[in-house]
Structure 1
Amino acid sequence: MNRLGTTGRWVFALGIAAIGAVSLLFGQYVSALQPLPEDLPGRAAIAFAGGASLLLCGAGLAFAKTARAAALALAFLLLGACLAIHLPILLAGVRNGTSWVRLFEPLALAGAALIVAASLRATAVSARTIAIGRWLFAVSLPVFAATHFIYAEFVASLIPAWIPARLFWAYFTGAAHLFAGLAIMSNVLARLAATLAGAMYGSWAVILHLPRVMADTGNQGEITSLFMAVALCGAAWVIAGSAGEREAAWPARSNA
């Protein structure tokens, strides 16, 4: 993995670990990643296990010796949550925009986790895994774009009042998601698109989410949203960093 991908892995690790730490700190399930029913037996234990798992995976991602195992565990955890929790909720209410975001955010993060794992082992299987990881991340971006278009007024309301033309920026970021997703899926300017997407998420963490957290430091949802933006920033840079991996790994597949 090149320098951009390595930087992305560290930022990704920070975001994932922080989301888990916030869950443990508040003693609640991982907001937006684990919407467990209030009456679910063992809910508190599951919530603790989820937070602890994310914290450990995030910490593991930060170190080269443990990054691959941590990335595989994280991908398994996130994909499991998508299939067992988020997909059934989405199918029960496909018109709920929140359900779409809650499914595709962990799906995008799972894609980045697969790339981290695969990039640390150059084999034919790794090359295919990198392609799958990119696709999981890229296919999530048009979904985020759609929610920005459909709920533009709400998205605009989240933008600080000192930023002019807030509705324009709601639509603009929706279009940015759409074009970034298409670029990564088609592998046309994929590295540039993923790099810029990461910069966009990073700017959101600083400009949008951090002030909201500072204004309400006891709000778990706001804090989780901050570190979700950080995790997505790192994930996008992991995608961008993997742009150089395909040329090195795909020939190995053809010779297998």
Structure 2
Amino acid sequence: MKKLTEPGRVMYSIGLIGLSIICFISKDFIVGRPPAWPASLNLNPALAYVSATILIILCLGIILRKSPVISALLIALLIFFLTVIRALFHFMNDWVNGYKAIALMGGALIIAASFLENKHNIIPNASMRDSRRRMLIIAGTILIAPFLIAGGYAHFKYADFVKDLIPAYIPFHLFWTYFCGVCLIAGGIGILMRPTIHLASLLCGIMIFGWFILLHVPRFVSNMNDASDRMGLCESFAFAGVFFTLAAITKRRKRIVINQE
């Protein structure tokens, strides 16, 4: 299961690099799909170009293991200041994307926590390292879980819209809409509880990666000019990476007891 850690980190980073490229195209920082800046603020496209460049550099830091903990934490801060704060002012009108922005920030904390398992990092003291790691995992899951639960609820509230997103070659659209809604809610609850966090995060990773392959890739290929489909492709890949990483770092180690006579 530890073999999932590195692919998960890379998937999250590649997903965010893809979103960074979309930032250049859209001339705005679109990670987490924040609302537009107030008309009185003339921040783009300069802010979009600078922030997207910084995000790419930080993602490369994770992939290449160049100060990866700091890189992941800075990604969380970048998303917080440029997306989450903007989303809070429009949360009641766009709560799904608000939760998504918060979840992407939480994902960065999970990625940071995964590097604290390695003794060769910025925190030499083992007990302090474990404490920081637990704190980041708890914070990350608390930030991600509401998005899963809200997403599951949205599958029921907006079932007619969601079922139309499913490709035509997949039968029983309404069934899969409700089924995935239940799975999202169960996953959100599951990652908050220690006995189920590993299994819940693993299953969420498999489910979302399945959506990436079966849903987002075909939609992107069929219409590469659709901004929402471009973001959905990158977001699903990034979230799958987060859950694979979380599954890897929360698997309980088996204790081997040796009886001495």
Q: Which interval holds the TM-score relative to the shorter structure?
A: 0.7 to 0.9
Are residues 1:143 and 2:138 paired? no
CA positional deviation for 1:151: 0.5
Question: Do the aligned partners of 1:36 and 1:43 also contact (CA within 8 Å) in 2?
Answer: no
CA distance in 2, matches of 1:138, 1:42: 32
Bigger-Rg structure (1/2): 2
Are residues 1:110 and 2:105 paired? yes
Letter in 2 for 1:116: I
Moved more, 174-183 or 138-147: 138-147
Residues 152-231 of structure 1: pairs in structure 2 closer than 5 A: 152-231=159-238
| Structure 1 residue ranges (4+ consecutive) displaced by more than 6 angstroms after TM superposition | none
Instruction: Return closer, same or farther for 1:154/1:2 CA change in 2, 3 Å cut-off.
Output: same
- In structure 2, the residue corresponding to 1:89 is in which secondary structure? coil
Are residues 1:57 and 2:52 paired? no
Query: In the alignment, which residue of structure 2 is the partner of 1:18?
Result: 18
Question: Do the aligned partners of 2:110 and 2:242 also contact (CA within 8 Å) in 1?
Answer: no
Are residues 1:8 and 2:3 paired? no
CA positional deviation for 1:31: 6.3
CA positional deviation for 1:114: 1.0
Are residues 1:71 and 2:66 paired? no
Letter in 2 for 1:17: I
Structure 1 or 2: more helix by fraction: 1
**1:52-95 Cα shifts (integer Å, max 9, x gaps):** 233222222212233212101111112224542011111xxx2x
Moved more, 137-146 or 75-84: 75-84
CA positional deviation for 1:28: 4.3
Question: Do the aligned partners of 2:34 and 2:98 also contact (CA within 8 Å) in 1?
Answer: no
Moved more, 204-213 or 119-128: 119-128
The higher relative CO (CA closer than 8 Å, separation ≥ 6) is in 1
**1:107-145 Cα shifts (integer Å, max 9, x gaps):** 112212112223323242332122111221223211111
CA distance in 1, matches of 2:140, 2:32: 21
Query: In the alignment, which residue of structure 1 is the partner of 2:81?
Result: 80
Q: Which runs of 5+ in 1 are unaligned?
A: 248-256
Query: In the alignment, which residue of structure 2 is the partner of 1:251?
Result: none
Query: In the alignment, which residue of structure 1 is the partner of 2:257?
Result: none
- In structure 2, the residue corresponding to 1:64 is in which secondary structure? coil
CA distance in 1, matches of 2:65, 2:155: 36
CA distance in 2, matches of 1:53, 1:26: 16
Q: Which runs of 5+ in 2 are unaligned?
A: 117-128, 255-261
- In structure 1, the residue corresponding to 2:250 is in which secondary structure? helix
**1:157-216 Cα shifts (integer Å, max 9, x gaps):** 000111111011111111010001111112232211111111111111121111121122
Query: In the alignment, which residue of structure 2 is the partner of 1:42?
Result: 43
Letter in 1 for 2:102: L
Letter in 1 for 2:33: L
Question: Do the aligned partners of 2:110 and 2:136 also contact (CA within 8 Å) in 1?
Answer: yes
- In structure 1, the residue corresponding to 2:90 is in which secondary structure? helix
CA distance in 2, matches of 1:145, 1:114: 23
